[in-house]
Amino acid sequence: MADPEPEEAPPQMQGPPREDPGFPALPWAAGGVAELLGSCSPNRMFQMSVGLRDALSASSVGMINGGQAGGQVGLQYSSALGLLKAELASAGMWNISLEGFQPLPFAQLNTQLAFVGGMLAGGQVHSIVMTPVGVLMGAANVYGQMSGEIFTGLAPAEGHQIMLGAHCWGLPGVYGGIKAAIEWTRDVTVGEEVTSQCSITAAVMAPHMTNDGSPGQPTYTFSVCNRGEMQSVLQFESGAAGSTLTVGGAIALSEMQRLKARWATNGLLGVALDVAGEKSAVTFCGEVNSTPGKQLNPKFGVTLMMGI
């Protein structure tokens, strides 16, 4: 009797992924939570900027990730049309971009082209239009990825603000999915100074289909961020991979030093120390797996930023 033929694996999609947005989606939603939690993940990075003239500056970025090193150097010129950038990245790639170009008072365009060996290797355009009902944004790149976004805000009472937004993405002829978010923020002021701020954010990311052709599973996120003398955050995320609860906090040790920490129910514990100077800042970060019975797998990183 012949052995049964093995089942064929489902076809894999070629090209850009369709289950993830190709561009940032509603980055303002739970922005304080993302900033604190992300700053507690180890990175090995160096950034430097130098002001050459009033409208001309130079910058450089270097990073080591997973044993691989990369970086870029570039020039930025503030012109009447917008911010012109020319950057040389790893593997001999040149990035030429124009940011902040305003063809109309209520519209803005950002464009970028990438070249390798004199050949076009990539490019994208990002548009922003201010309307009476909110901000409209659209983006597309040479790989076929496209996105559209709208968000608006309202103030139901003094010191209170509500933000609403939706972001959809896809490829030509292929609907990718949608992300929607709502965020409520309350400011506490003494005189004219904001002494503390609390934000509550609810968001859902719903891809239409994964790259292997199976239906996409939505991911729900609920976040809370409180900023004052101390900062505390909480984020609960539930999706196809399970549920994760993450808590974090930050406290100022002095005017120049700030200690941050975050822990998640998956066992990852991260701690970071920010040390700021007049023209520089350095962050030392460490991460371990705190799950009982498992290896610690410690990771360490440092991020240095300098301005001249």
Q: Which residues are CB-neighbours of 130 under 8 A, at least 6 positions away?
A: 106, 107
Domain ranges for the chain: 31-307
Summarised one tens digit per residue, pLDDT across range 66-121 is 778 889 999 999 999 999 999 999 888 999 999 999 999 999 999 999 999 889 98
Task: Return d(Cα 65, Cα 47) in angstroms, integer.
Answer: 15
Task: Return d(Cα 48, Cα 72) in angstroms, integer.
Answer: 11
User: SS3 for 298?
Assistant: coil
Tell me, which fold does domain 31-307 have in CATH?
A: Porin (2.40.160)
Distances (CA, A) of 258 to 99, 116, 126, 264: 33, 41, 35, 21
Q: Which region holds residue 22: left if phi is over 0, alpha if psi is between -120 and 50, else beta?
A: alpha
Summarised one tens digit per residue, pLDDT across range 109-166 is 999 999 998 899 899 999 999 999 999 999 999 999 999 999 999 999 988 999 999 9
At 1, is the pLDDT very low, low, confident or very high (cuts 50, 70, 90)? very low
Q: State pTM to two decimals.
A: 0.85
Q: Which residues are CB-neighbours of 244 under 8 A, at least 6 positions away?
A: 236, 237, 238, 264, 265, 266
